[in-house]
């Protein structure tokens, strides 16, 4: 029985065990996927335990996507470019980090490239989103984060401009703004449930049918952020699309096998309900 799993803090909200255990069963693989709630101070010991068990692969979620980097033997070029890791796998004998959140971002956009974008947040997910937007060729990318110190490296690593968190509402309403991405945990089930980066009255009417609000939170699937956007005519892309694409990319990396997108989406949608 091959062992895989998720490391984060917290992990109780994650649908990764649902997705991957369904995938293992569907492909008739002798494997199981578990979830481990690991506090930040215990991450180095957990990585050493992964080496000893050994785990065949692991998903990494908040708050470990950046702090795990120095604990690994190698990074893929993409993970190095993003500066954050959400997937661990073995390449020969080297514990290697990769980033499939990048694939999640591109899938969520689905080829719709606006002239300007606003990204909220400065963590590992925000870094993957910025790397994805860089690939699309968007020229005007603004980033607003509650922690200026954490956001500062983003302007060094990606073609974006930082704005104060207090200016996010004005940026949302700016002419030409065609995409806003919530890469913060605001709205996630738990203490942050029901919250949004914006007040209801902050949302302008969508400037075009292609104006898109994308949430990276997927539990709950319908966040307050997305309800606000839909009410003002914005196209809403929920976090499940983001999560599904990155999860299928992980499964492919670990097993070399693909899972059918439509079936996987039905499994996760049922779990969300």
Catalytic residue among 65, 112, 150, 270: 65
* CA distances from residue 208 to 114, 129, 176, 225, 234 in whole angstroms, order as listed: 10, 22, 9, 19, 8
CB of 194 closer than 8 Å to CB of 219: no
Is 112 marked active-site? no
Nearest to 145 by CA among 172, 89, 99, 183: 183
CB of 176 closer than 8 Å to CB of 219: no
Nearest to 104 by CA among 226, 248, 253, 234: 248
CA dist 164 and 172 (Å) reads 13
Residues in the chain: 273
Tell me the catalytic residues: 65
């Amino acid at each position: 029985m091959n062992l895989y799993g998720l490391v984060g803090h917290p992990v109780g909200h994650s649908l990764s065990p649902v997705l991957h255990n369904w995938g293992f069963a569907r492909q008739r693989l002798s494997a199981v996927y578990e979830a481990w709630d690991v506090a930040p101070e215990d991450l180095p010991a957990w990585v050493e335990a992964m080496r000893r068990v050994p785990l065949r692969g692991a998903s990494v979620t908040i708050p470990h996507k950046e702090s795990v980097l120095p604990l690994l033997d190698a990074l893929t070029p993409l993970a190095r470019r993003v500066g954050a890791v959400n997937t661990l796998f073995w390449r020969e004998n080297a514990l290697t980090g990769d980033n499939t959140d990048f694939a999640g971002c591109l899938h969520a956009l689905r080829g719709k490239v606006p002239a300007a974008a606003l990204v909220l947040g400065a963590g590992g997910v925000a870094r993957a989103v910025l790397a994805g937007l860089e690939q699309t060729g968007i020229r005007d990318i603004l980033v607003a984060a509650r922690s200026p110190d954490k956001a500062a490296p983003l302007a060094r690593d990606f073609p974006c401009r930082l704005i104060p968190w207090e200016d996010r509402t004005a940026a949302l309403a700016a002419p030409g703004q065609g995409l806003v991405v919530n890469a913060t945990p605001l709205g996630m089930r738990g203490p942050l449930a029901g919250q949004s980066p914006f007040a209801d009255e902050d949302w302008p009417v969508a400037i075009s049918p292609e104006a898109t609000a994308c949430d990276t939170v997927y539990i709950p699937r319908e966040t307050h952020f997305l309800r606000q956007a839909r009410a003002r005519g914005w196209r809403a892309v929920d976090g499940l699309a983001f999560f599904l694409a990155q999860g299928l990319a992980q499964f492919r990396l670990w097993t070399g096998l693909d899972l059918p997108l439509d079936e996987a989406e039905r499994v996760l949608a049922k779990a969300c309900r």
